[in-house]
């Protein structure tokens, strides 16, 4: 028996990195998975390898059920169409994973207005759009789980004076603000839908996960950087939050290795949640 047998999961950013690992694990645990991202075919993305087609083909080869649904989540109409397609293909949605993310790492004094708006649309508006859309199914059934993915960038640099080491954070100001807002959104929504049997949670990697994106932004030295955290740990943390009883996890803002060790899914952890206290919302 899988932890998600009979359930339908909707995973954004499923073409590569953490989103791909979440989709694969969810399918192995019995879910029918709607895999969404902008990249349908290998080679469609100018910079990165990975595609929805590859993710879905891997799931199907392993005996799972999945549907590739290309979607640019920055627009509400696209999100509504993707959710409707997922319902038609797989059924009402039981689990939503808001994983898709976008950042440019540009300092505020030179941030292009169009990129600012697009970043907000992907990182904050899309989780709202999709949460509202899937709540139609979840409220009607009296159950469901929404898991939002945050980042250590939500932890600000604190007040000055600032050492030279903090200069690297300048380009992450918008991304960090968006993720901090997502954590507050998580707890607010969790309180709104708790009585309707729906869990809303948020998790960040305890350590930087080597992915095509983090490698591109030079946050890791390579895909095998020993300072990094395997994407599988984030996938397992998301699975935990999506399947544990409502009263144990609702409103949690946490970190991958922290929550996995707390619930006995791994023996020891490190990084955020162990070395440093995490964001303010993780302490509430």
Question: Which string of DSSP letters, residue by residue, matches 190-249?
Answer: HHHHGGGTEEEEEEE-SS----HHHHHTTSSSSTT-TTS--HHHHHHHHHHHHHS-HHHH
175 counts as catalytic: yes
Rounded to whole angstroms, what are the CA distances from 189 to 80, 96, 194? 19, 14, 8
Bridge-based pairing of strands 253-255 and 95-98 is unpaired
Mean pLDDT for 257-271 is 96
Q: What is the mean pLDDT of residues 165-171?
A: 59
Helical segments of the chain, H only: 17-28, 52-61, 76-90, 113-120, 126-141, 173-193, 212-216, 231-243, 246-249, 256-262
Q: Is 218 a known active-site residue?
A: no
| Distance (Å, whole) CA 9 – CA 28 | 12
- As a whole number, mean pLDDT of residues 164-168 equals 56
- How much is the pLDDT for 270? 94
Q: Is the pLDDT of residue 216 over 80?
A: no
pLDDT of residue 225 exceeding 70: no
Amino acid 177: pLDDT: 96
Task: Considering the candidates 129, 175, 255, 281, report the single residue annotated as catalytic.
Answer: 175
Let me know if 159 is exposed, middle or buried by CB neighbors in 10 A (0-12, 13-18, 19+): exposed
For the question of residue 150 being annotated catalytic, the response is yes
Question: Which domains does the chain carry?
Answer: 8-283 (3.40.50.720)
pLDDT at 219: 63
pLDDT at 166 over 80: no
Which helix (H) or strand (E) is 282 found in, with range?
none
pLDDT at 8 over 90: yes
pLDDT at 45 over 70: no
pLDDT at 1: 87
Q: Residue 160: what pLDDT?
A: 84
**What are the pLDDT digits (tens) for 129-142?**
999 999 999 999 99
State the catalytic residue, choosing from 74, 119, 131, 179: 179
Q: List residues bridging with 37 in a β-sheet.
A: 70
Distance between CA atoms of residues 143 and 168, nearest Å: 42
> Could you tell me the pLDDT band of residue 56, with boundaries at 50, 70 and 90?
very high
Biggest alpha carbon–alpha carbon distance for the chain: 56
Nearest to 122 by CA among 90, 151, 79: 79
Q: Name the pLDDT band for 209 (thresholds 50, 70, 90).
A: confident
- 119, 131, 150, 199: which one is catalytic? 150
89 has a pLDDT exceeding 70: yes
């Amino acid at each position: 028996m899988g932890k998600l047998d009979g359930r339908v999961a909707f995973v954004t950013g499923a073409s590569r990195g953490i989103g791909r690992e979440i989709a694969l694990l969810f399918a192995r645990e019995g879910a029918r998975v709607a895999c969404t991202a902008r990249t349908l075919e290998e080679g469609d993305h100018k910079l990165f390898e990975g595609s929805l087609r590859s993710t879905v083909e891997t799931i199907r080869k392993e005996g799972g059920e999945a549907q590739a649904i290309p979607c640019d989540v920055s627009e509400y109409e696209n999100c509504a169409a993707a959710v409707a397609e997922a319902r038609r293909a797989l059924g009402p949605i039981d689990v939503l994973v808001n994983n898709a993310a976008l950042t440019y790492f540009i300092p505020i004094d030179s941030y292009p207005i169009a990129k600012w708006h697009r970043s907000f649309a992907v990182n904050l508006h899309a989780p709202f759009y999709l949460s509202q859309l899937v709540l139609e199914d979840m409220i009607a059934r009296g159950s469901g789980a929404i898991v939002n993915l945050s980042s250590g960038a939500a932890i600000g640099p604190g007040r000055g004076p600032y050492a030279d080491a903090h200069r690297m954070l300048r380009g992450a100001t918008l991304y960090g603000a968006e993720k901090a807002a997502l954590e507050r959104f998580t707890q607010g929504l969790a309180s709104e839908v708790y009585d309707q049997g729906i869990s809303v949670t948020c998790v960040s990697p305890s350590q930087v996960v080597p992915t095509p994106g983090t490698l591109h932004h030079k946050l890791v030295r390579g895909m095998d950087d020993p300072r990094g955290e395997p994407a599988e740990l984030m996938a397992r943390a998301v699975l935990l939050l999506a399947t544990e009883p409502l009263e144990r996890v609702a409103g949690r803002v946490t970190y991958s290795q922290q929550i996995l060790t707390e619930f006995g899914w791994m023996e020891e952890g490190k990084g955020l949640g162990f070395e440093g206290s995490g964001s303010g919302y993780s302490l509430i």
